[in-house]
Structure 1
């Protein structure tokens, strides 16, 4: 599995640092020439395009929507699956997802399997949080991250809650993910950053609650 994280600068490095622990991964800052007019089609360096086309999974953190679309349009036929981590507006989302191997998640920690073999292999490790918890005397003695957010937030929460009493661990998990700090919402380029943060908090709360319930049911 070869994963490329492609950015125009501000975002993506944290995802790269997390993903490279599980998969072969490369972080690419696009060398984007300034177009002569706003209607010009973006011409990316041939070397970068050729490299990107070899990806099994391409994750884009490009803030310019036109550049995002131009890149996806040029490489989607060669890449196994594309995850657009930064996008703005349902019109762009619909355009991008008209390519059948492209997904534009609201936040990166909502990704789940969709039946595509390549995508599902990636999502077996990164996406909607899934954890296992071992407990002794109401203390979390081991927290194993089965699937974590690409930003590394799930691992941060798991490490922070290790050794804590399990009584309020789900609530603490939802709160702690926001102290990572969680960029959910901000990277979507919307003013409503709080909705993304709330989703991330809910997913982590539910993951830890489910893990505790499984432990109790054994």
Structure 2
């Protein structure tokens, strides 16, 4: 299959301005996803950056990376990732069978993650796949100043929690036709389980950025 990697890197970030080009480990944040795509060139045929940020455009073009510039209406904090993916597919001439979404806010990924996910989606013949991680926290609701456990009972050990999972954002794979029809995933998408510290990195604020920097330094020092 012919495969396209899309890296959406918009300009606006309310909680961490300039986030997508802020340097992490000596590289702009979004460039970690570019490098990840490049080391998986056996799977990925082309990389496209979707952005409305002139700084990101300049960085990408200086490195001969293809850019699809977003219109103003797709640069808002209410813009969905799906809208961005559809915009890219509608504004290129080439036809791709599959799209791999690499979010800049998840810059750290296990080395063989894409290889393993790609094998899984082929073996299962799934239309799409996304990565998830196991939740190990005790959640509850507060109603009328009373705490009501949601996924456990009072006194229950963490080891006995019902297995629940969350989208970690590391990786999404979907058939291009599925995206064009308005879906990135659905109830039939394959949930690929990732048990790795990188799955906890999702950069929205400075503290998330600092944690990612900590992990990078640990890797470099090993």
Shared fold per TM-score greater than 0.5: no
Between the two structures, name the one with larger relative contact order (CA 8 Å, sep ≥ 6). Answer: 2
Could you say which structure has the higher strand fraction?
Answer: 2
Could you say which structure has the higher helix fraction?
Answer: 1
